[in-house]
A and B are shown apart, each in its own frame.
Chain A
Amino acid sequence: GQSLEQPSEVTAVEGAIVQINCTYQTSGFYGLSWYQQHDGGAPTFLSYNALDGLEETGRFSSFLSRSDSYGYLLLQELQMKDSASYFCAVRDRASNYQLIWGAGTKLIIKP
């Protein structure tokens, strides 16, 4: 079966950098996505990695290591509006390539 692990909560200070890790177990990995969800809102797509390496989009970067079954989301220059839950989600053969989601990491930002 598939499983994803990410920390349930991370706390950081405004202006700082924070890394949210995601480890996964799948039987035929295809890709890793990251989504942001504010309380009461819908998930918003952030990034998708199918190949090893770092992808940067503005203040957010996402990294994937297929050999380590590991990825992370890096948020730089944290702003109060970044307070939200962040989900990693994998596509794999066992789920017929549909997204299987982690339980999410609640990011708390302090001034």
Chain B
Amino acid sequence: DTGVSQDPRHKITKRGQNVTFRCDPISEHNRLYWYRQTLGQGPEFLTYFQNEAQLEKSRLLSDRFSAERPKGSFSTLEIQRTEQGDSAMYLCASSDPGQGAIGEQYFGPGTRLTVT
């Protein structure tokens, strides 16, 4: 197993454009999370999937953000009409089905988004 992977690693886009990021979790993990991290801050929770079901979505997440996990494997995060404030590192993590496993998450390398 190669761990959590994310694609692309870097994305530069112009304000107003749409972007989509992909995450492939560890294969036996049924839980998948998306976070956003800005410099000097801890990761900020965005959304959570258990298998293909999106069970949690941060109240801070605007309607421009949407995430899917159609077959319970990989996930995509789309940002529509990007704004400069969306510039951040977008992290994906996965964890196994165990009771305490939400506390034990494994992260991908992240996608760094720059909105110009």
* Residues of A participating in the B interface, judged by any CB pair closer than 8 Å: 31-33, 41-45, 48, 50, 87, 89, 91, 95-104
Closest to B45 in A: A98
Give the contacts of B73-116 with A (CB-CB under 8 A): 91, 93, 100, 102-110
Q: Are B109 and A48 closer than 8 Å at their CB atoms?
A: no
With the chains together, A75 CA to B108 CA distance in Å? 24
Closest CB of chain B to A50's CB: distance in Å? 6
Please tell me the number of chain B residues within 8 Å of chain A, measured between CB atoms: 21
With the chains together, A91 CA to B108 CA distance in Å? 21
A-B contact pairs, 12 of them (CB 8 A): A33-B103, A42-B91, A43-B43, A45-B104, A45-B106, A48-B104, A91-B102, A91-B103, A97-B102, A99-B103, A101-B44, A104-B41
Closest CB of chain B to A93's CB: distance in Å? 13
Q: Are B42 and A50 closer than 8 Å at their CB atoms?
A: no
With the chains together, A48 CA to B105 CA distance in Å? 10
Nearest first, the 3 A-B pairs at minimum CB distance are: A101-B42, A48-B103, A42-B107
With the chains together, A98 CA to B43 CA distance in Å? 12
Q: Are B103 and A31 closer than 8 Å at their CB atoms?
A: yes
| Cross-interface CB contact of A50 among B33, B100, B108, B109, cutoff 8 Å | B100
With the chains together, A50 CA to B99 CA distance in Å? 11
Q: Are B56 and A96 closer than 8 Å at their CB atoms?
A: yes
Interface centre among A43, A45, A50, A87 (most CB of B within 10 A): A43
Closest CB of chain B to A27's CB: distance in Å? 16
Q: Are B41 and A98 closer than 8 Å at their CB atoms?
A: no
Q: Contacts A31-B100, A45-B104, A96-B56: A104 and B42 contacting too (C-beta < 8 A)?
A: yes
